Amino acid sequence: MTHPRFGPPIADWRDGGAISSASKRAALVAMALSFAIPFALGASLWVVAVQAVSLGAVAAFILTRPGGPLF
């Protein structure tokens, strides 16, 4: 909790379940990039579908946390 970089986000999460806008953006960009990898590797449709459902659920969770608008 006293770490200068990681302490404040942990405190925000612990106190109110909040995720900062910058962290939301970073998470969504990382998820979008990881979703693009199967296309580049030629993965089958079921792999892409499972990944889409999973990432969609995680994105919905992240976006519904308090912490400010995305942009």
Structure confidence by residue, pLDDT tens digits, 16-48:
889 999 999 999 999 999 999 987 898 999 999
DSSP annotation of 5 reads T
Look up residue 66 and give its two tokens.
Answer: 């308090």
Contact 62, 19 (CB under 8 A): yes
For residue 71, what pLDDT is reported?
Answer: 55
For residue 69, what pLDDT is reported?
Answer: 62
- pLDDT mean across residues, the chain: 90
d(C-alpha 18, C-alpha 66), whole Å: 5
For residue 11, what pLDDT is reported?
Answer: 87
